[in-house]
Structure formats: structure tokens, C-alpha cells
Structure 1
Amino acid sequence: MIPDGCALAICDGIVCVVGERGDVRSDHAGTGVYANDTQYLSEFEVAVTDRDAPESGWDRLDRQAGADGMTTVLVGAAPGEGRGDARRFLLKKDVAIDGDVVTVETTLRNYTPEERVVDVELTVASDFQHVFECPGFFAARDPVDRGATASDRESGAELSGTSPDGTTRSATVQLEGGRTTSVEAGTDTAGAVVERTLEIPPGDETSVVATARLRPIRGRVDLSFDPSVSMASHPGLFDAAADTLRALVLPEGVPAAGAPRFVAPFGRDALLVGFQTLPFAPDLTRSVLTYFAGRQASTTDPETLAEPGKIPHEGRRGDLPALGRSIRSPYYGTVDATPLFAALVAAYAEWAGEDAITNELYDAALRAVEWTVATGDKDGFAWYEPHDHDYGLTHHGWKDSDRAIARPDGTAATPPIALAEVQGYAYRALRGVSELAAARDDGDLAQRLDERAGRLREAFDREFWLPDEECYALALDADGAVEAVASNQGHALWSGIVPSERADDVIGRLLAPDMLTDAGLRTYSASHVAFDPLSYHRGSVWPHDTSIAAMGCARYGRDDAAAVLVERGLDALAAGATGDSGRWGFPELLVGLNDSDVNEGRARHPDSCEPAAWSAGSAFGFARAALGLGVESGTPVAEPAAGFGSGPCLGTTEATLHCREQRYAVRHSGDSTVVMPTCRASAAGGPPDSDRDHPEVTTDG
């Protein structure tokens, strides 16, 4: 997804994508400075010219990129034609983001015994297009004229664009010590040039800073989290995962799904990250829950698919929704985020304590369960139809690409569709909120939800089971069972909807050669005609997908299967996150092949976001599965998978857990596992207001 030769930095919801030489260039699709789903700058280039050799140019020497920014190192091309002519300069461009400011610090080192003079030129341009109009990221929509303007500022300029909806966005740029030599505004693009001359003493270096301040930028939620996990076999991996998650956190306090396309809140993505990281970073989980509770739908809107109790699929910004060029935001085209939300509230209560669940969160969980119950059929199955909207989604589960849900022969499933994993999410939500209700002395509600969950589980086993495959169906559709084996069934394991007597068969089918690669589980069986390892959802490998299946295997005591998925999944994450110093973070998905030509199944997919939040969260999901983490009587327990950590493959593992306002240290090495309290943790939440009224949840039909 990041163009070849490019790298990115992201912080506070601002993304800067630079090209081969560390600049944003208008002739390089995909580079840019982005915020709030708007490309604030399509050009942000610091050009350096050696006066003594103006045609010599620059060659890239190195690139380092990470969660704290990126550095591109260039070396001056040889100024003459003879072999061995001296390269006079080393040039570094350091890109960093802080608040609403993007900074490029350009440092030149003079490697000659004489003073050198260079000309520095900052070129900026923008038409303030929406990301959906950018050809580097999407099938670009027709551009909107936003009346871009430019005006002089001290050592720089201000570029502005006003949308037909009346909103104005601007970028104020400066070159330290520079003078503005050109300010232009064309029919739809504004630009400016700022220049400066630098004298660099012999053998010394000089720096100059260019900045871009963006407006408007959102206020920031104060969120701090520091998940602590270490594994001897993968040094630095969990620190990199934590850094990635922090970099992706939006000002609203929820992680963006992934960069550079999906720098926005996505319901299921953030909620699954909340599950993956819960024992290690409960403050992140709580922030996710608080954010989506505040955006839970209260009315019905066919255009956005809002219905009372529903949790959003995504919350885009920018002007296209207001102009009718996109679905209004937030968009509720998801069938799974709502039960996942309710289930995560219950899981958070298990780790943080029921007293940490405020009435606001409890009420939101009840409304989410009420929607889950109301949308279900007589068996409790949750179905969805394609959204009849120019920009609506065909599929409303996590595999939401247009051709994601197919029968083994390749024909598309016929709507309406009930996905296997969504029924599992609903089951987990019903069971979890039942426990919350019981803790609040609402025994009648707890009983009704438990009975509903029991009927759903029985119906799932009856209607989804495929005897010939010894596995559950991918989905039900208008024509019956979609008899495909896919990774969705691993999510069903994780939810607990699978009866214990079926678990071994399901796990065995998922770990068969047509599903299991060196990088983890394929999203779709290679034995089916519809399999496509280069597709987005029908045969590729997604780390978060494998981590959920690993947690599912651990749930049913299949230590051997959990260990296989953990080892392969962590190896793939390590290769994807640390294999290239110029590209950081965790790729969203990998090519679903096992072939020496594609690095044993660990090749990045060309459409992959990088970094992706739930891929970074997967490191912690794998740790949960490997350590067998749970809570018993208010105390965390660790029951590691048999053989985990006893050999050179995984090694000693240490982690800090947070449970009921207490920190615990867990250490596993060989056959020994120790869990010990260390100190009091910060309070996760205040006591509930028991005198507030709560929405009534019915379970009929």
C-alpha cells in the first residue's frame, strides 16, 4: 500500500508519506501530508543545490523509519566525470510530527576542506483534496474544486482551500531563515517557493528546518499506555508493537485502523485491538470502549445504516460526505462491531472489575445486546444485506471486500448472509452481558440472555456444521450453507460458541495444509476453486486473524495448535515489522503462498496497509494465547501452552498484567510459570451509579 521507495511517519492522526529522497512531491502519487482524510500538502520538498556543481544531484544512501519519525540519508553525486571524484556532502532529512506540525530538518555535512555554498529551496503545493480523490490510495473519485489560495507569510506562505460545503483548511509553511520568492494560485492548486542560502564550513555541518502547520486539527484525548511484554525469541518485537499502536492512536483516543488509507476510527478493528491488548494495556481498551459508546447510534438512518444500539463501522472526515460524494459519517455498515462492543465491555469488566464499568458503559452494552437480539432471526442468527448505496459495502463482516464471501466453486454467496464468526460474537456478547447483569442483581435479564445464547449455540451447531469437512460453514446465505472452509471459523472458536466435542475437529481442519502456511492461517482454503492467495480476503494471510484463532485454540485447551499458530504468527510479524529498516510497523496482510519465491508465505501483500493496528495488536494476542491468560476469582492466571518457551523457538517470556487495580508480573521459562503481584495499578474506572435507569433488553424472536 505504501508505494515502492516511500516511507511514512504518523502521529496524532497526521500522516506524512515521502518518496525516494525524503520529500513529498506532486509527481509521485501517494506521497503527501494528510490529516482528517484531507491531503493538506501534495508537495513539501526541500531541494538542495550545490552551487559549484548544480547538476550533480543526490543519491540515496540509507533510510530509517519508525514510530518516532523517519530519516533519509543522501550523498552528493560525484561532481565530475572521472572515477573516484569526491562526493562533497552527506545530506539527512529528518521528518517528525508533533501535534499539528510536520517538521523536516535538513542537515548537510561538508566533507571537503573548503567552505561550500548551497541553495535550499522549499516548494509546497496543495489542492486540499480528500483522500478518496488521491489516485495513490483508492480508485480515485472526480476531484472537487476547493478554490485554493496562497498568501505570503514571514519566511513562508499560507495555503488554503475552501470546500463547496463552506469548510476551510489551511497549511502554513515556513523555511527557517528563508525568503518567499513565489506565491501562486491556479484554478484549483495553490503553491509557494521559499529560498535560502547556506554556507557550510569545511568539515562541518549546518541544518535548516522547514515546517508545515495544519488547520484545523482536532483536540486530543489524554491517553497513555505502556504494554510490557518481552520474549527472548523475538527481541524488540513487542516494544515495536507498542510503539506502533501509540503512533496510530488518533486524537480521539482510539487507534486508527492503518496507514496511510485508513487513518480513521474503525469499529471492529479497534475493538479487536482492545481484546488483544486488554491484560497488558487496559487503558487503551477503556478508551476504545468510551469512544464507541459515545458514537452508538440512537436513531435509524437508511443512508448510514444507523439503528439504535449499533456501533459504527468507520468515522471518516473531510468534506466529501457533506458534498454527497461519500456516505455520511459515521457509517454503520457492519454486522459485527456491535456484538464485539458488548463482548469487550464484559471482558473489560472481567479484568478491571465490575466496579470499573460505569453506567454509561453498561447502558451502551445493554443497547448493543438489544440490537444484537433484535436483528437476529428465530434462531438468533444475525444476517446482513448489501448496502444499496453508491458508496455502501457489499459485505458487513471483517472480510468486507466485494468478492470476499464465496462458495468453494467461486460463485458469490447469495444475500442475505449470516457469517459464522458473527454468530460467535453474538454468543459471546450474550454470555458476557448476562454476567454483567447478574453482577448488578438483574437475574431475570441474565437468565434471558443465557437462554438466548444457549439457543443460538444449538442452532449454530445444527445449521452451520459440515460433516464432510468436519468443520463449520463459512456462512449461511439465501441458498443454504456456504460450504467453504475459511479462517472465520477460527473466530467462532475464540468466541466459545463451538461445543467442546467439536473443537478438535474444527482445529484439525484449520491446521490442515490447505489452510496453514508458514505465516499463519489463510483466509480461505487452498483446496477450493475460489482460493486466490493474492486476493484481499480469499486466501491471503492476516496476522490478526491468526492471533484470534490462536486464542481460540487456547480457549479449548489445544496447546499444540495454539503453539503452532503463535510461533508462525510471531515469526511472520517479526519479518514484516523489522525486516526492512526503511518500512516500519506491522503489515495488514501477507500473500497466502508457501513458496520459496515469496519468502515462505511472509511476503507483504501489495494492497496491505502498513502499519495496521490489529496487526500490531496481534503480537499481544499471540502472547495471550501462548501464556494461556485468564482471570479466576479476580486474579490473573497463566496456563502456558504445553512446550511453549521450553526450547529455542520461543524462549523466556515476561509480561506485566493489569487486573482489578493491581499489577502482576508473569514469567515463563521452560516448564516454570510464575505470576506475582507487584504494585497497585491506577484505577481503571469509578463505581457505577446504581440509581440510574437502564434500557430494557428483550430476547424474544
Structure 2
Amino acid sequence: MTATADTTLVHDGTFAVLGPDGGLTGRGGSTPDGLFRRDARHLSRWELTVDGTAPLVLVPLRDTGPATCVLTPRGTRDEPPAYTVFPELAVASGVLVERLRLVSNLAHPRVARLCLLADADFADQFELRSDHRRYAKEGSRRTALPHASGVRFSYLRGAWESVTTVSASPAPTAVEPAGPTAHLLTWDVDLPAHGTAEVLLTVEARPHGAPAPHRVGGPAEASALSRADTADFVGQAPLPVEPGSPEGLAAACRQGLTDLARLRVPAVGPDGAQLRVPAAGVPWFLTLFGRDSLLASLFALPYRTGPAAATLRALAATQGTVYDPARGEQPGRIVHEIRHGELAHFRQVPYGRYYGSVDATPLFLVTLGAHTDITGDHTLAVALQSQARAAVEWMFRDGGLDAGGYLVYRPDPKGLVNQNWKDSEGAICFRDGTQAEGPIAVAEAQGYAYDALVRTARLARESWTDPSYADRLEQSAAELRARFAEEFWMEADDFPALALDGAGRQVDALASDAGHLLWSGILDVPRAHRVGRRLMEPDFFSGWAVRTVASGQPCYHPLSYHRGSAWPHDNAVIALGLARYGLAAEVRALAAGLSGAAAHHGDRLPEVLAGYDASEHERPVPYPHSCSPQAWAAATPLALLTSLREVARTATAAVGTTAARGARP
């Protein structure tokens, strides 16, 4: 029997990507395996052999809480395996625990030999991503020291030290070197006739500067800790869905809440308070991301207010205060991402605290306004008033609103070329595929800026008692709306441009970003209706979701990251925009497509789907490098639920209005 699927276990900033036998091979590339904490791989090899050979996988690993699989030594029909191994694995904060339970299949005692090859390469995630770069690490060294019950791996570079400790009960019979740092742990296990025996393994990951791992007694305890934490966030009662909602939406919502709970990572607020915020996703982005964490929190806000409040506080604590061109920091700017790994620490990559995002700052203001509107509580808006005002001033001063009338970014040759949500190189392109050259004003960021100004004006009036400031922001929003309508609209296509390039030319690719303009409210009603309906035509809508760019254009590629694929979170924003303008049929079609896609992925929407049409294949074609679970994809079903509720509410209100008018004399 063969199996190839990996299993991902994640909790409180620690995750493991494990093979079907529960093992690790040390691979890198687009789908690395290992035990990860704080952007580093703390366990790279975890290879079990039984009686001298790799075990046969009878049942591949599945996360059943704890994750379990079934293994045996290799046998034949005439000489079946002498025993069966039932591994159980779980992850808690900083810890991987595994229990190997051996069950004898024989009527007489025997000795089973187990060997486990373990290693920790401490590879930074940026080294594993196959970006064709090499990072110098002068003076660094890895060591491995056996101890009474296992082996301690360490990595030292100057004052930077990270440690992984492997411990076992019972202690191994032998611990021997098997490579530069790899060690082989061996047990000779006495198995009674038709009896059982166990080996408990604990792997503790202690990155540089991290708190001590959470100590647990075994997989059951670690799994129970994770389940209780998740259940507390998800809640026991299912979210009520609208009558007529697509099949599978309720299950997708519950899975989405479960994934959001598990993707929470530690963070710190402006006052030093400990927080837990939604990280962007596994495997590459299990950390605070401005744009990702904000959008995921916004989607969840009508149902769970905690993520938005925590994310806003964490981003306020990391808001830019000085000018640092190396990482794009500017006063008032909201951070794009936070990294804790070795390469970020030594500033070999700019992402330790990287500010290369044009949209995180307005989205911070949008989320703060939305949190106040939905909760009716002005406490957070008052507490973060200075940070909100600083964010507004960044939009005018360094963001570009004062200088050129739009939020703009300049490509960062050492960081991100594109600094909107479509941040891959080449994503902001003309119809022929040519990348726009900066400074670039992308369409959706102007919508976010408009919404941010409108919402912050309301905060100024209702939370800060500053009507003159509110007047200024409302006037700026109105001017931006008028300017956008004049300069972004492509008359020949009856559609907004993807961006304006540095020369003020319309970047003419037909792109899904137009749907974000409905969400922000920057378009007038007639144009919004035309854009919304255009996005649901076959060149955009695959039957599963709206593509990032419409098919048929030279720039289109169904397996491109941002030029033809379909992103659930992008579609969530579009759905909210369609609902805002009352496009009920379009909302229902989009919700049905995404709910169907989720059902094909075990109720979990991946980060991104290939752009192939539903007529081309009976299932959505996966994008080969998609993160899963991923926060804003996890929160997408919640946004769909909100959209369906909004169009249902609007329809009910319209019926009520019509009935009232009909009753008048």
C-alpha cells in the first residue's frame, strides 16, 4: 500500500508537516516537511525502521486528534508481521509528541527492534522556499549531544542559539551518530505474547528568544489541549445559515472557524499585553501579516470579534515610527509582516519587520471602523486614536494622497516588487502581460483608502468628538471618489483599470480587483452593477470562483499565482461587494461555487485554486503551491454567509417597503 499525502498539525505558532507514516525526510521546495516554530525547522529527519526495514503503511496518517496511522514490519502471506505499530502524534505550543504502541500478533514473546533516525537542520524557511538564493552564515555551527533519554540538537551563530531536544521513555538502548548531526535512537522492546509495549517520544523546539515549550504528558494530552482551545473559539452551536444557502456552506463555516482557531499565534499589544492573532497560513506564513490578518479578522468580525481586536492591537504595537528604507518603514505605516527567524534577525532578508504594503494601513482603519460599528463599543477606537490618526497621515504624506491623489507604491528591489495583495512579480500587468512600472496606484487600494477615510471620519465624529477632522476626511474621500471615476474608468471596456502606472497610464488587464471596489463603495451604483455582473461572466467566473484575471487575455495563465488562478479570499471581498449593491443572484452563484469547491477539499478552502473552468474537470483543479490551512481562505465562508444574509435582509426590506406602499390609500 502506498500513500503520498502529508498531514499538517498546527497549534499556537507551532506546526508539523508529516508523511503518511508520521515521519520526516528533510525535504525542502514548495512542500517542505518538518517541525516548525518561529520560521525555522526544528526537526528535519524522523525516520522509523522496524526490524531493520522501513515499515509498511497499512493506514496513512490522519489527524483524528491525536493523528494516527497503522504500520507493520514487512511480511508475506506465509509469514505475516510479528507485530503492529500504532503511532499517535500531536502538536502543542513548541512540542511534538508521539506515542508508539506495539501490539504483538504472536502467541509467544519476542523482541522488537525499533530504530529512529532524528536530525534538526534549523533551516530558515526562506532557505527552504527554493528562491535560488544562498545565504552566508559565517561562524554558525550545528551540534548534537546525546543525553540519558535522547539527543539535544543546537544551532549557534554569534549570540543566536536555537535548541531542539528529543527525549524518550523508556530511554533508548543506544544513541549513536548517523551523520554530521543526525543520531540513531535504538530500542529493543520486549513484547509479551499477544501483549503490548509503548515508547513515548517528546520533541521540544526552543527557538532563539522564544518562551519555553508547553510541557505535555503525551499525544492525548497535547491533542486535548489543542481541541479545548479550538472548541472555546469555535463554540458548540453551529452558525445559523440563511434558508436556501448552498449545500456545504455550514460545514465550510465550521471548518473555517476551526482553522482560524488553530492558526492563532502569539503577539503583543501596545501596552505589552499578550495577544493571539490570526497568522496568514501554513507552511510559509505562520506569523502576523498586516493585510492577511486584517482581512481574515474582517470576514470573521460579525461572528467572532476577538481576532479583529487582537490584530488591531498587535498592528498598533508594530506601527512604523521612523524612516527605514531597508524595510520600508515610515511613520504611521502598518507592518506587512513580522518574522522571527535567523535570516530576519541578521537582516539578511528584510522581513523581520517589513512594511512593504500599500494596503495594510487603510485596511487597519477599515477594520477599526468596522469593529466599532459591529460591536457598538468605542473603547478600542478611543484607545487606538493616536495610531489611527498616524495611519491617516501616512496615507496623505508618504502613501501618496497629497502628492499625486492616490495611494501608490514603488517596487522594492530587495523585497516585494508589487505591494498590494497580488504581490508576485508580474502580477500588476497590462493585458499583454507586461509588468507595470512604478510608482504604481492599484485600483483596490484606492477603494480601501476611500473606505478608510469614510469610516475614520465617522470615528472622529462619534468616538473622538472631532467634527472638523471628520469634515476634512469626508471631503478628501469625496475628492478621491470623483478622481477615481474620472481616471481609472476604461470607457472602451466599461470596466476599471487594474492600476495606473508611473506615467499615469491605465494598466488595462481585466482583473478581479474591480470587485474590491464594490466592497469599498467607491463606485456609483450603475457602474458597480455593471462591474458586478461582468465579473460573473464566463471569462471571469470559472464556476467555482472568479479568476484573478479574465481568461482569453494574453496575460492569462490558469496556474499562475496571480494571473489566472482564483483566490477564495478575493472572491469573499467580491461577494461582500456584490451584496453591498444588492446583486443577489450574483452573490448566490458565487457562494454556490465556493461552497462546492470547499466540499471537494474536505470543507476547507485552500489559499488558491487553479483557474480551469468547472466544465473542464468535475473537481476544482488545485494550485500546486497552495497554503492550507490559510487564514483568509478559512474566513471566506464566513464572508459568504454575511453576503447571503445581507441580500436576504435587503430583499426582506424591499418586500416590506413594497407592501407598505401598496397599503397606502
- TMscore range, shorter length: 0.7 to 0.9
Query: What is the CA distance between 1:84 and its match in structure 2?
Result: 6.1
1:169 counterpart = 2:187:
no
Aligned 8 A contact 1:171 1:215 in 2: yes
Aligned 8 A contact 1:38 1:318 in 2: yes
What residue is the counterpart of 2:225 in the other structure? Answer: none
1:178 is aligned with what amino acid?
Answer: A
> What TM-score does the superposition give when structure 2 sets the normalisation length?
0.87
Match of 1:525 among 527, 542, 550: 550
Q: How does 1:170-569 map to 2 (within 5 A)?
A: 170-179=163-172, 181-184=174-177, 189-216=180-207, 217-218=210-211, 225-226=233-234, 228-231=238-241, 233-234=247-248, 236-252=251-267, 253-374=276-397, 375-377=399-401, 380-389=405-414, 392-439=415-462, 440-479=464-503, 480-569=505-594
What residue is the counterpart of 1:590 in the other structure? Answer: 609
What residue is the counterpart of 1:63 in the other structure? Answer: 61
Task: Give the match's secondary structure for 1:23.
Answer: coil
Query: What is the CA distance between 1:490 and its match in structure 2?
Result: 0.8
* Partner Cα separation in structure 2 for residue 641 and residue 71 of structure 1: 48
Matched residues, number = 612
Deviations 1:269-300 (A, max 9, x none): 00001110001010111111111111101111
* Partner Cα separation in structure 2 for residue 289 and residue 220 of structure 1: 26
What residue is the counterpart of 2:115 in the other structure? Answer: 121
Q: Which is further off, 12-21 or 25-34? A: 25-34
- % identical equivalent positions: 32
What residue is the counterpart of 1:610 in the other structure? Answer: 628
Structure 1 residue ranges, 4+ long, deviating more than 6 angstroms after superposition? 219-223
Query: What is the CA distance between 1:377 and its match in structure 2?
Result: 3.8
Query: What is the CA distance between 1:586 and its match in structure 2?
Result: 3.6
1:101 is aligned with what amino acid?
Answer: V
2:234 is aligned with what amino acid?
Answer: D
Aligned 8 A contact 1:541 1:590 in 2: yes
1:371 is aligned with what amino acid?
Answer: W
1:72 counterpart = 2:63:
no
Task: Give the match's secondary structure for 2:356.
Answer: coil
Task: Give the match's secondary structure for 2:84.
Answer: strand
Aligned 8 A contact 2:499 2:507 in 1: yes
Aligned 8 A contact 1:71 1:92 in 2: yes
Change (3 A) 1:55 1:609: closer
What residue is the counterpart of 1:666 in the other structure? Answer: none
* Partner Cα separation in structure 2 for residue 306 and residue 19 of structure 1: 40
1:158 counterpart = 2:152:
yes
Aligned 8 A contact 1:333 1:396 in 2: yes
Deviations 1:41-70 (A, max 9, x none): 211233332xxxx5584134233136x553
* Partner Cα separation in structure 1 for residue 258 and residue 63 of structure 2: 12
> What TM-score does the superposition give when structure 1 sets the normalisation length?
0.82
1:248 is aligned with what amino acid?
Answer: L
Task: Give the match's secondary structure for 2:637.
Answer: helix
Between Structure 1 and Structure 2, the one with more strand by share is 1
Change (3 A) 1:12 1:497: same
Query: What is the CA distance between 1:422 and its match in structure 2?
Result: 0.2
What residue is the counterpart of 2:6 in the other structure? Answer: 6
Task: Give the match's secondary structure for 2:387.
Answer: helix
Task: Give the match's secondary structure for 2:378.
Answer: helix
Deviations 1:309-352 (A, max 9, x none): 11111111111123342115210000000000011000000011
Aligned 8 A contact 1:24 1:42 in 2: yes
- The answer for unaligned runs of 5 or more in structure 1 is 579-584, 630-637, 643-701
Compare relative contact order (CA 8 Å, sep 6+) and give the higher one, 1 or 2.
1
* Partner Cα separation in structure 1 for residue 365 and residue 429 of structure 2: 29
1:575 counterpart = 2:600:
yes
Aligned 8 A contact 1:553 1:562 in 2: yes
- The answer for unaligned runs of 5 or more in structure 2 is 215-228, 268-275, 653-665
* Partner Cα separation in structure 1 for residue 57 and residue 12 of structure 2: 32
Aligned 8 A contact 1:133 1:143 in 2: no
Query: What is the CA distance between 1:20 and its match in structure 2?
Result: 3.3
1:20 counterpart = 2:45:
no
Deviations 1:338-379 (A, max 9, x none): 000011000000011242325332221221111112223456
What residue is the counterpart of 1:650 in the other structure? Answer: none
1:90 counterpart = 2:84:
yes
Task: Give the match's secondary structure for 2:141.
Answer: coil
